Amino acid sequence: MYRAPRAPILSTLDPHRLTRTDYVDLSNKAKFLFRLLPSYETTSIFFDVAPKKGVKSAFPSKRAISFPPNTAGFLYYHTPSGDASPFEGGLRIRVTPDNSSWGFDRGRDLLAPTGFPWQTNLLQIARVVRWQHVRETLLQENLVTPARLAWCRECAPPFITIPLLSLFRLTQEFPIVFESQNPFAFVGDRVYPSSVSNLLSQFAKVDPFGWPTGSISARFEPAIRDGRRMVHLRITRAAEHHIEGPVVKPEEGQLLHLRFPGEMQARPWGFDIDATRGDGAAGLRMLWDAAKM
Pairing state between β 108-109 and 166-167: unpaired
Cβ neighbour number for residue 160 with a 10 Å cutoff: 11
Q: Does pLDDT of 52 surpass 90?
A: no
CB 291 within 8 A of CB 169: yes
- 259 vs 242: CA distance, rounded Å: 15
CB 257 within 8 A of CB 246: no
| Cβ within 8 Å of residue 96, ≥6 positions away | 23, 72, 73, 74, 103, 104, 106, 107
- 216 vs 243: CA distance, rounded Å: 10
At 160, is the pLDDT very low, low, confident or very high (cuts 50, 70, 90)? confident
229, β-bridge pairs: 224
Least confident of 78-87, 145-154, 236-245: 236-245
- pLDDT (tens digit per residue) in 212-228: 677 889 999 999 988 89
> What does the domain layout of the chain look like in residue ranges?
20-154, 166-290
233 vs 54: which has the higher pLDDT: 233
Q: What is the pLDDT of residue 211?
A: 59
Q: What is the pLDDT of residue 244?
A: 63
Q: Does pLDDT of 284 surpass 60?
A: yes
At 60, is the pLDDT very low, low, confident or very high (cuts 50, 70, 90)? very low
The model's pTM = 0.86
Q: What is the pLDDT of residue 283?
A: 94
- 246 vs 233: CA distance, rounded Å: 15
